[in-house]
Each structure stands twice: as structure tokens, then as C-alpha cells.
Amino acid sequence: MYGLILQEKTQESQFQQIYEQLREKILNGEINSDKKMASSRSIADFLKVSRSLVMEVIDQLKVEGFLESRKGSGTYVVPDLRYQNGTQKKPLHQSLSKDPLQDPKFSFLAGIPDPGLFPRRRWNKMYQQAMEYADDTDLFYTPGQGRLDLRIAIRDYLYRVKGINVSEESIVITSGAAQAIHLLSLISKGGTVAMEDPLAPFVYDIFKAQSYEIRFAEVDNQGIDPGSITAKNLDYIYCSPSHQFPLGGSLPANRRIELLNLARSTGAYIIEDDYDGEYRYESRPIAALQVLDPFQVVYIGTFSKILSPALRLAYMVVPTSLISPILKIKRKMEFIGEGLQQAAMAKFISEGHLEKHLRSSIKYYIDRRTCLINELKNHFGDEIEINGEYTGLHLAIKFADRQFSPEIQEKAAESDLMLKPVSSYSIKTVVHRNSLVIGFGLINHEDIPTAVEALSSFISSLD
Ligand SMILES: Cc1ncc(COP(=O)(O)O)c(C=O)c1O
């Protein structure tokens, strides 16, 4: 009957399947207005489904104008409905839900914390209270610099956890680190910026969009190499000194000093992106560059890695000389700040829940990381060198004699793995093509042995 088929192993309901097949056949002319439609009873008998289900589909197609009842003679396709482009074979949502890139069995994706660790109940309570105690002005647009209570809470948190001693006046709340970098890029449009390569590509895109001349700095397993920056004048130097993204290096003191000297001699501000420095496994968090020179460093912290990127909450600590240009731009974006979210975060931090959350989640990540390192050593032995494992939610593994192009991501997806090589974060450099980024935010502890085994088989299959 019209070649209709019902599949059992699909996420689509029977209604959807019958509806989509009939609609497709109408659009491609297989069922046309010349002949009366088969009765709902005969379609139902053929498909072994209830007649009421088929009648429901037919009614829907009538409501949408594909079918019409002709008085006294039954149901027909409305004339002139042929439309080739409408004949998509697979519905989009079905192909997406089956895409292993979106929903792999094991995800080594870096940069997303475990959603299972998100303190849902506590956050919900903070948000509810923020709403309950909101006065009228709390329901106005949020101040461009961010709510004062949140800036004060972050000021105290920064001092307690990272040894950064600043006034709340130098803190600006942003919608993610991405917005902080965007704001900075708007100040010196068309200027010159030096940045690490490889790096998180959104940073490159932001500066590129504002017509910056971009100078790439080399990166090794210690982090950015200031000696590789030869420019004489720079507006910014972007780096991630606590845990270089994606290679994982923690910048040693001599390079920090070299970088600060370079910033001074070139007139640059350093953009210090400390996206996951709170998770430090074998010592306390490394002192920020900002502490060494608050006049030259813009420090950016985010809640994306310690809580969730869905919150879109981050902050920047800004040198006095940059505060007013940033606020001038930021105030024009006042409608962006989410006041109630900020109020909830202020309470969450000032009542001690953030540090509590950090203390408890770090225990999970320590276990995962230890297990991951052991499994990687078991499977790959001397074949790999592990880097960047002391901080954050990912590490990098470097192979002695393998090269990985960005395309291996698709191949890995075919093996049900989400895996990115460092080369997919490289803009220009080809130096780190022998390394893979291994995130552990999205893999449960108990799955790690199987996941690493799958990784090992995948790597062998590349031979
Ligand atoms: C290097 C780096 N910095 C910062 C961020 C966080 O950005 P946001 O705070 O906008 O979520 C990311 C996110 O992936 C990142 O990779």
C-alpha cells in the first residue's frame, strides 16, 4: 500500500512515520490528485495499526492542506503540490540524534564539566531566593559592570582561592569568557594581537572579526614561548598560562617574567585566560600573572568549567586604565547581563557553596584523572607522553611517531568516540600534529577502562 513501511527500531512514533511517508509521496507525485486516496481502513489493515491512528494522520494532512475531502467521493490530494526539494529522505532530528559526533558512546571532549556534578538543587534554591528577594530595581536591566553583590562575592573569592587582591571596582561581569575577550577586541579594533597557536579557535575568530593583525606565538609543553613573539608594538597578548589550551602546559616563572617584560616593551595588555585553573591536582592553584602586574594584565575567570557553560557567567579583572573604555562599551550592551542569574551566583559564592562544590567535585576529577592516566599508560606505554595533567579537565597525549589531522575526528565518530586532535585547534602551526586532547569531564570513572580500550583500538585501526 503506497510502499508504506513501519520501522520498529526508531525514535519516531508510528504517527510520525506514516505522516512523513505520505507527505513525501504527495510531494514527489507518487500519490497525486488524479486518484482517490486509499481508505483509512485499508491503510490501517496493511500496516497493522489502528484505524484511528491512520485517520489522525489523514486529518493532519488535511489540516495542513495536503489532502482534501471531495463531497460524496472521498479524500484526494490537493492539486499542484509536487515539490522535489521537499523530499528529504531522513528527517533532520533523526540524523542528528544518530550522529556519533553529537552523541558518542565515549566523549573525550575537553572543556565541558560533568553535568552530573552540577549542584542542581542548591543552584535552584539560590535562584529561587534571588527571585523571592528581588526588589523592584533587581528587575530592571542589569548594570553594565555587573551586579555589585556578585562583584563583591567574586572579589572575596578571588582573594581566598587565587590570592588575587582587587577592588570590586576593577571587576566586570560578562556573559562567558568569550564576551570578555570580545569586549577587549572592540577597544582597539584593527590593532595587533599576539596569541598562542594552538588555542581555542573562538579567540582567533573574535579578533579576526575586528580586523586585528594576528601574530602567532609558539607553544610547547610549558605553555606560551614569549621568545617567539617578534612584534615591536602590540595591543594584546592572549595566553592561558595556568593550563594552556589545548596542550596543557603551566607557564613557569621565568616565562611569566619574560612575558610581562614583553608586554611592557610592546605596550601590550596581557589577556590571561584562566578558564579552569581552580582544578589543580598536585599543588595549590598557580599564582596568576595578574598578581605580578595588575597594571598590564586583564585576568579572565569563568564559571563555565567549574559549574556549567550554560550559565554564561564569567568575570574579568581589569587594569584601572582599561576600566572606563570597557565600561563604555559594556554599558551599551546592558541588555545582555542576566541580573537574576548574577544574584543567584552572588549568593552561591558568598554562602560558601562554590568552594564546597569545588572541594567535592575535585575529588571526582582526581579519581578520574588517576584512573585515566593509569589506563593510558597501560594501553600505550612508552608510545605516548602525557602533558597538562596537573590542572583542569583535560590532558594532552603526544605520540612519538603518529600524526593526526583534524579529519580523524570524523573517523573517531565512526568508532563511537568523540576525540579531537590538537591539530583541530591549530590555526597556522603544524608542530603539534602528533598530539590528542583527552578531556575527562564527560567520561564516568567506571567507563574509563573501556573508553581507553576503545581509544587504543581506534588508534591501532589507523595503521
Ligand atoms: C581556552 C578557553 N577559555 C575560555 C573558555 C570559556 O569560555 P566561556 O566562559 O565563554 O564559556 C573556553 C571554553 O571552551 C576555552 O576553551
**312-353 pLDDT, tens digit each:** 999 999 999 999 999 999 888 766 778 999 999 999 999 999
**Ligand 1 pocket test: which of 304, 338, 420, 437 has the largest number of ligand atoms within 8 Å of its C-beta?**
304
User: Would you say the CB of residue 178 lies under 6 angstroms from ligand 1?
Assistant: yes
- What's the mean pLDDT in 63-73? 84
pLDDT, mean of residues 450-458:
96
The C-alpha cell at 387 is 602533558
Does the C-beta of 302 come closer than 6 Å to ligand 1?
yes
Q: 266, 234 in Cβ contact below 8 A?
A: yes
pLDDT attached to residue 246: 97
Say what the pLDDT of residue 334 is.
61
Phi/psi of residue 418, nearest 5 degrees: -100, 115
Average pLDDT over residues 257-274: 96
* SS3 track for 94-145: HHHHCCCCCCCCEECCCCCCCHHHCCHHHHHHHHHHHHHCCCHHHHCCCCCC
Of the chain, the percentage scoring pLDDT greater than 70 comes to 95
For atom 4 of ligand 1, which residue has the closest CA? Answer: 275
Task: Give the 3-state secondary structure percentages of the chain, helix then strand then coil, rounded to 5.
Answer: 45, 15, 40
Mean pLDDT of the chain: 91
Q: How far is CA 79 from CA 1, 56, 57, 83, in A?
A: 21, 21, 19, 12
Residue 227 C-alpha from the chain's centroid: 31
The residues, ordered by sequence, that sit 6+ positions from 156 with a Cβ below 8 Å of its Cβ are 349, 350
CA angle 12, 13, 18 (to 5 degrees): 95
pLDDT band at 398 (very low <50, low <70, confident <90, very high): very high
Which cell goes with 178? 568569550
Using the mean position of ligand 1's atoms as its centre, give its distance from the Cα of residue 248 in Å: 14
Q: Is the minimum distance from the CB of 244 to ligand 1 under 6 angstroms?
A: no
pLDDT: which is higher, 14 or 185: 185
- Quick check: CB of 303 below 6 Å from ligand 1? no
pTM for the model stands at 0.80
The mean pLDDT of 264-274, rounded to a whole number, is 97
Res 84: pLDDT:
62
Higher pLDDT, 111 or 234: 234
In percent, the amount of the chain with pLDDT more than 90 equals 74
347-375 pLDDT, tens per residue? 999 999 999 999 999 999 999 999 999 99
387 has a pLDDT exceeding 60: yes
> Confidence class of residue 258 from pLDDT cuts 50, 70 and 90?
very high
pLDDT at 85 (0 to 100):
52
Amino acid at 230: T
The pLDDT score that the predictor gives to residue 327 is 94
Provide the pLDDT for residue 154. Answer: 98
Residue 86 pLDDT level (bands cut at 50, 70, 90): very low
Kindly indicate the confidence band of residue 100, based on its pLDDT and cuts at 50, 70 and 90. Answer: very low
Interval between CA 422 and ligand 1 midpoint (Å):
16
Task: Say which DSSP state 10 is in.
Answer: S
Residue 34, SS3 per DSSP: coil
Q: Residue 313 CA: which ligand 1 atom is closest? A: 9
Residues 6+ apart with CB under 8 A from 2: 21, 22, 25, 30, 31, 38, 43
Nearest to 153, CA basis, from 345, 339, 287, 360: 345
